[in-house]
């Protein structure tokens, strides 16, 4: 199994550089198993949001399609899918990924100072 970096995934998804998109597509077709780390997924969502201005709904659609590819492997697929649902519902994707991954690791809660993250049930606010 091989892994891919955020820039390869972004080129595959946005097709803004045709040559790099074709290289990324060829790689995805050629490799039987490709590892997508949760970090790459979070970074990809950040790049799509902040640099390419892709809305959350479109990002979630692209992530779901990506996770349906037989070659794609990731840690805690269910946590990723749950984070995608939360992101669709207006929560921060990185917070959702942290909360769901910690939940799968049997964490009772995830402590935070983040006022927005505590809207997710996996978080508890640590008061200042």
3-state DSSP of 60-97: HHHHHHHHHCCCEEECCHHHHHHHHHHHHCCCCHHHHH
Partners of 121 in beta bridges: none
Q: What is the mean pLDDT of residues 51-60?
A: 96
Query: Can you state the angle between helices 18-30 and 6-14, rounded to 10 degrees?
Result: 110
* pLDDT for the residue numbered 127: 85
3-class DSSP state for residue 30? Answer: helix
Q: What is the mean pLDDT of residues 38-52?
A: 97
Q: Which two tokens stand for residue 71?
A: 């070659």
The answer on pLDDT for 24 being more than 70 is yes
pTM of the model: 0.90
Task: Using CB atoms within 10 Å of the CB of residue 23, give its burial: 0 to 12 exposed, 13 to 18 middle, 19+ buried.
Answer: middle
Taking alpha carbons only, the member of 63, 91, 61 closest to residue 77 is 63
Residue 66 contacts by C-beta under 8 Å, 6 or more apart in sequence?
Answer: 9, 13, 36, 72
Q: What is the mean pLDDT of residues 70-86?
A: 93
* pLDDT for the residue numbered 128: 67
The span from the CA of 46 to the CA of 69, in Å, is: 22
- The string of pLDDT tens digits covering residues 89-125 is 999 999 999 999 999 899 999 999 999 999 999 999 9
């Amino acid at each position: 199994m091989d892994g891919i970096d955020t820039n390869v995934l972004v080129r595959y998804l946005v097709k803004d550089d045709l040559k790099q998109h074709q290289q990324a597509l060829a790689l995805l077709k050629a490799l039987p198993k490709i590892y997508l780390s949760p970090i790459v997924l979070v970074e990809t969502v950040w790049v799509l949001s902040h640099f390419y201005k892709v809305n959350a709904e479109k990002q979630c659609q692209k992530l779901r399609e990506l996770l349906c590819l037989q070659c794609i492997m990731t840690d805690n697929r269910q946590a990723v899918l749950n984070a995608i649902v939360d992101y669709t519902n207006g929560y921060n994707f990185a917070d959702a990924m942290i909360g769901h991954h910690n939940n799968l690791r049997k964490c009772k809660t995830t402590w935070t100072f983040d006022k927005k993250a505590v809207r997710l049930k996996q978080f508890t606010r640590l008061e200042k």
